[in-house]
């Protein structure tokens, strides 16, 4: 059989894409880690909903390539699938932060990720439920303004009302929610008596938005924050104290409407997460070590790495077609391993077992993809499928060696 004109996808019976690879967002319904890790994440989400905190709040951590983004995407998928009526997951990446960065930048990013449409629609729903024509009174009676002083609450009630009118008032109100300062004339037009110049007011504003959205939809906003290690770039003492205090407010049980799951890059386990996230006041609010889930052990052992590879192949390869090819061409492999031989899989798992600094899903996927491409390149040299064997793995991991 001639394979010269076959694409990689055709040659290896790929189901999902043109390459042997995983996209964290496209393939979010599957998490390829250890079953125990998947279960721990699932249990944490379930318990957080029924504990006093009322909404998921915990940390994921692992080295570069350990699957943090994929884990967050999978959590979003699970929340949408299993908690559809209760959760509104929102994925964001933490913005780059300077050494003297204040909370305002993080606040603006969080509100931006919620979006004007979500907030405006929720405000309309609550306003429609008001008994009288006084919409400001209606927002107070709805019980959604639970945080901040009376000046902040009244300002925010006016901002929510402004969304009903649209136009410039709605746009300026949106900017106010993100922390923009208004001129005296603009403040009068909006009905706001203060700006969000104080970081604490910013957090209280965010929590009131969460309460508004929950009251209107029955769903709780859950931020899934990638690259949270960016806060380690903040070195100014005042900025650190400010941001830590804001995270404490968000993680406190008094907030039961806005969830927070942070993914943190840490090259050497808990030791390198950084003091910012492991201080006693934050540590305690997520139930100490129970609130820190380590992705680093996902593929560190031979058995776990092999299971990861087999799961990846099962997900990406049409194994029914692979089985037919194996039988018809008498190929020395099993369909769960195709297009790899058992020897090749053993070579990958043994390599990462011996080189723990490379024990990550990203490294394994890179090695698998590179080796598959090399086997495909040799398709015109054989009348049967060229499998990835131990020699090709060796060439892939140690090119030019």
Q: What is residue 96's three-state secondary structure?
A: coil
CA angle 383, 389, 390 (to 5 degrees): 155
CA angle 336, 341, 347 (to 5 degrees): 115
Would 2 be classed as within a structural domain?
A: no
Residues spanned by the domain of 303: 8-25+299-397
Total domains in the chain come to 2
Tell me how far CA of residue 106 lies from CA of 46, 62, 286, in angstroms.
Answer: 27, 22, 20
Q: What is residue 369's three-state secondary structure?
A: helix
Q: How confident is the model over 235-256, as pLDDT tens digits?
A: 999 999 999 999 999 999 999 9
Position 213 pLDDT exceeds 80: yes
Q: What is the pTM of this model?
A: 0.92
Q: How confident is the model over 302-330, as pLDDT tens digits?
A: 888 999 999 999 999 999 999 999 999 99
- Domain ends where: 294, 316, 339? 294
For residues 53 and 150, state if they share a domain.
Answer: yes
For residues 368 and 304, state if they share a domain.
Answer: yes
Q: How many residues does the chain have?
A: 401
Complete DSSP assignment for 332-349? SS-TTTTTB-HHHHHHHH
- Domain ends where: 294, 314, 335? 294
For residues 208 and 282, state if they share a domain.
Answer: yes
- For residues 57 and 223, give the distance between their C-alpha atoms in angstroms, rounded to a whole number: 9
CA angle 287, 291, 297 (to 5 degrees): 140
Position 23 pLDDT exceeds 70: yes
For residues 43 and 172, state if they share a domain.
Answer: yes
pLDDT, average across residues 281-298: 91
For residues 182 and 331, state if they share a domain.
Answer: no
């Amino acid at each position: 059989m001639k394979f010269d004109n076959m694409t990689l996808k055709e040659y290896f019976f790929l189901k999902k894409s043109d390459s042997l690879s995983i996209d964290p967002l496209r393939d979010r319904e599957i998490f390829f880690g250890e079953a125990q890790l998947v279960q721990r994440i699932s249990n944490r989400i379930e318990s957080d909903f029924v504990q006093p905190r009322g909404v998921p709040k915990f940390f994921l951590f692992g080295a570069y390539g350990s699957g943090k983004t994929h884990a967050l995407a999978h959590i979003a998928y699970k929340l949408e699938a299993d908690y559809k009526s209760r959760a509104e997951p929102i994925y964001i990446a933490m913005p780059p932060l300077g050494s003297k960065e204040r909370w305002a930048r993080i606040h603006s990013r969080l509100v931006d990720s919620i979006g004007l449409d979500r907030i405006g629609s929720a405000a309309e729903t609550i306003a429609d439920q008001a008994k009288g024509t006084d919409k400001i009174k209606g927002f107070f009676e709805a019980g959604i303004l639970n945080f901040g002083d009376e000046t902040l609450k009244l300002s925010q009630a006016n901002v929510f009302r402004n969304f009903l009118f649209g136009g410039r008032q709605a746009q300026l109100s949106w900017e106010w929610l993100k922390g923009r300062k208004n001129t005296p004339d603009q403040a009068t037009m909006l009905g706001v008596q203060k700006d969000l110049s104080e970081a604490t007011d910013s957090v209280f504003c965010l929590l009131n938005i969460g309460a508004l959205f929950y009251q209107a939809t029955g769903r709780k906003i859950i931020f899934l924050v990638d690259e949270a290690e960016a806060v380690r770039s903040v070195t100014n003492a005042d900025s650190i104290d400010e941001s830590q205090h804001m995270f404490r407010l968000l993680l406190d049980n008094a907030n039961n409407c806005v969830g927070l799951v942070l993914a943190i890059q840490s090259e050497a386990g808990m030791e390198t997460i950084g003091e910012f996230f492991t201080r006693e006041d934050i540590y305690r609010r997520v139930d100490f070590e129970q609130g820190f889930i380590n992705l680093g052990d996902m593929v560190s052992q031979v058995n776990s790495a092999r299971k990861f590879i087999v799961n990846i192949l099962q997900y990406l390869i049409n194994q029914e077609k692979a089985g037919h090819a194996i039988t018809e061409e008498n190929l020395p492999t099993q369909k769960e391993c195709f297009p790899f031989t058992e020897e090749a899989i053993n070579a990958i798992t043994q390599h990462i077992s011996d080189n723990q600094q490379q024990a990550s899903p990203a490294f394994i996927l890179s090695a698998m993809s590179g080796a598959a491409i090399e086997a495909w390149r040799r398709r015109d040299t054989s009348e049967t499928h060229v499998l990835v064997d131990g020699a090709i793995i060796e060439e892939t991991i140690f090119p030019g060696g």
